[in-house]
Amino acid sequence: MKVTAIGTGYVGLVTGACLAEMGNHVLCLDVNAEKIRILNEGEIPIHEPGLQEIVQRNVAAGRLQFTTDIDRAVNHGTIMFIGVGTPPDEDGSADLQYVLAAARSIGARMTDYKVIVDKSTVPVGTADKVRAAVADELTKRGSTLAFAVVSNPEFLKEGAAVEDFMKPDRIIIGSDDEQATLFMRALYSPFTRNNDRMVVMDLRSAEFTKYAANAMLATRISFMNELALLAEKVGADIELVRRGIGSDPRIGYSFLYAGAGYGGSCFPKDVKALVQAAQAEGVSLRVLAAVEQANERQKMVLVDKVVARFGADLSGRHFAIWGLAFKPNTDDMREAPALVIVQELIRLGATVAAYDPVAMPEAKRVLGDLRSFSFCERAEQALEGADALVLVTEWKEFKSPDFDAIKAALKQPVVFDGRNQYEPSLMKVLGLEHHGIGRGSAQSVK
Ligand code: NAD
Ligand code: UDX
């Protein structure tokens, strides 16, 4: 099939590349000329495991192309994905200006039937707004061309985006148009055996489903982070509690890891947007509002632990940070807890040396010229002369480090383990002072 992806970011690029991999002819459009230049030179502008290979293979096969030419992009696809950003507005609600601009640009140029697919995460009712925007542009041209609007929210996780897209848990199709539904079924049939992963529903329920999924996952994380605070006080180990409750299939193991708070381009903004959307309807989502508040507090937990250990005046103190990205296997720094932690340590007078396997260029771009802050080429280098190590992102290479080298390089053998990567009992044996998240009993029971 002929597909256009409007917006070639994480979602648009992965969608475009994976659909091309299944034999579709895909043209990806972006207004960011630099992004398109990089892609046309055979590189990808983000760090996403497995993506570069798929992009290169499909470009070579002539099934995947990139452009900034909107006329060409609208002319190309019968199926037009809109995967542009929906950042938070001042009040937290989703800013739809990019989605609606994309819709208008389709309406202003289309010359044949289009299935317009909302792939971006958008509030309930957005499909109607997209439909109205396209219709308005057609009316201006005196055109009566037919088109359909479909909601197809994306559930990929960064760092595992290709795998998630290729083997989806489910494909949500929100549609009130039979023909458009058939197009979507055909497009996604290679991704779902016997269509058993395809869930077709009305537009509004599909839009809602995306927010509900992210809100549920964020809730699990904040819930565990709050229990971790209590576990520390009462002498329980949240890791053991996680295993204990996760074994109940009604609860399950995933997304129960206490840590330094959730970040990324989705949970923070989507939780805010859902709370805001509910408020506009006169509904107060109290649980979800608390999820967000708990996460804001959680991003400060590592700093609070540093202050409890070294005092509120950190002048003359130096800290090593391991991990800057909001999660491993990505260079995405959006809403990364590390941003809050680094800035807060510096505000309290400390100097900071940081290392991240892939996110340092992006962190440099986001943090700019920050005084008292430096980047290190290697993890060990960041430790030199530091008062303590603060682990913020659980990259695999931090999981089993040379503990003796850590001890030797630090001024004091103190480790703040923001992702519970190390067993407190082992750290004790090694002579390292370990501050985990919710590891109240400070020992591991086998
Ligand atoms: P992104 O910022 O990485 O990419 C968006 C791209 O759209 C940018 O490259 C931007 O230049 C481009 N763009 C903006 N307006 C445009 C226009 N009119 N025409 C063409 N290109 C335009 O964003 P993202 O992370 O890919 O997220 C996109 C949407 O998908 C958001 O709604 C997000 O919530 C949702 N989503 C993201 C993820 C994720 O993990 N990143 C997962 C699921 C859903
Ligand atoms: C999320 C959703 O998982 C995905 O389905 C949606 O499409 C986009 O948003 P993403 O933000 O890429 O994906 O990463 P995710 O793995 O969900 O992690 C988000 C944040 O939660 C990270 O900061 C991570 O460190 C944190 N997290 C995750 C925890 O703190 N504990 C956990 O148990 C899981």
pLDDT 10s digits, 4-35: 999 999 999 999 999 999 999 999 999 999 99
10 and 152 fall within a common domain: yes
Residue 153 has pLDDT above 80, yes or no: yes
84 by DSSP, 3-state: which?
coil
Q: Is residue 155 part of a domain?
A: yes
Work out which ligand 2 atom sits closest to the CA atom of 419. Answer: 30
Q: Is residue 195 part of a domain?
A: yes
| Pick from 239, 204, 432, 419: nearest CA to 322 | 419
Q: Is residue 444 part of a domain?
A: no
Ligand 2: centre distance to CA 394 (Å): 13
Instruction: Please report which ligand is nearest the Cα atom of 32.
Output: 1
Neighbour-count burial of 112, counting CB atoms closer than 10 A to its CB (0-12 exposed, 13-18 middle, 19+ buried): exposed
Q: Is residue 315 part of a domain?
A: yes
298 and 332 fall within a common domain: yes
290 and 181 fall within a common domain: no
The confidence band for 442, taking pLDDT boundaries of 50, 70 and 90, is low
Which residue has the least CA distance to atom 34 on ligand 2? 255
149 and 249 fall within a common domain: no
- How far, in Å, CA of 199 to CA of 45, rounded? 32
Interval 261-284: pLDDT, tens: 999 999 999 999 999 999 999 999
253 and 347 fall within a common domain: yes
> Would you tell me how many other CB atoms lie within 10 Å of the CB of residue 218?
23
DSSP letters for 170-185: -EEEE-S-HHHHHHHH
* Helical (H) or strand (E) element with 353: strand 351-355
Best mutation site among 10, 327, 392 for ligand 2 pocket (most ligand atoms within 8 Å of CB): 327
Q: Is residue 211 part of a domain?
A: no
Per-chain mean pLDDT for the chain: 97
* Sign of CA pseudo-dihedral 362, 365, 366, 367: positive
- Is residue 266 part of the annotated active site? The answer reads yes
194 and 269 fall within a common domain: no
Q: Is residue 97 part of a domain?
A: yes
CB-ligand 1 contact for 156 (6 Å cutoff): yes
249 and 156 fall within a common domain: no
Please report the ipTM that was assigned to this predicted complex: 0.98
CB-ligand 1 contact for 70 (6 Å cutoff): no
Best mutation site among 6, 8, 11 for ligand 1 pocket (most ligand atoms within 8 Å of CB): 11
279 by DSSP, 3-state: which?
helix
123 and 94 fall within a common domain: yes
Provide the number of structural domains found in the chain.
2
The confidence band for 445, taking pLDDT boundaries of 50, 70 and 90, is very low
Indicate the residue among 173, 201, 229 that finishes a domain: 201
414 and 301 fall within a common domain: yes
Sheet holding 198-201, edge to edge: 64-67, 25-29, 2-6, 79-82, 114-118, 147-151, 171-174, 198-201
Residue 443 has pLDDT above 70, yes or no: no
134 and 274 fall within a common domain: no
Work out which ligand 2 atom sits closest to the CA atom of 256. Answer: 33
- How far, in Å, CA of 423 to CA of 62, rounded? 50
309 and 230 fall within a common domain: yes
- CATH code of 297's domain: 3.40.50.720
Task: Provide Rg for the chain, Cα atoms.
Answer: 24
Which residue has the least CA distance to atom 27 on ligand 1? 85
Neighbour-count burial of 391, counting CB atoms closer than 10 A to its CB (0-12 exposed, 13-18 middle, 19+ buried): buried
Ligand 1: centre distance to CA 265 (Å): 10
Interval 157-211: pLDDT, tens: 999 999 999 999 999 999 999 999 999 999 999 999 877 899 999 999 999 999 9
Instruction: Summarize the confidence of residues 128-132 as an average pLDDT.
Output: 98
Interval 311-357: pLDDT, tens: 999 999 999 999 999 999 999 999 999 999 999 999 999 999 999 99
189 and 297 fall within a common domain: no
Strand pairing partners for 151? Answer: 118, 174
**The pLDDT of residue 446:** 36
Neighbour-count burial of 130, counting CB atoms closer than 10 A to its CB (0-12 exposed, 13-18 middle, 19+ buried): buried
Structure pTM?
A: 0.96
Q: Is residue 445 part of a domain?
A: no
- How far, in Å, CA of 359 to CA of 109, rounded? 39
**The pLDDT of residue 126:** 98
The domain containing residue 54 runs over which residues? 2-201
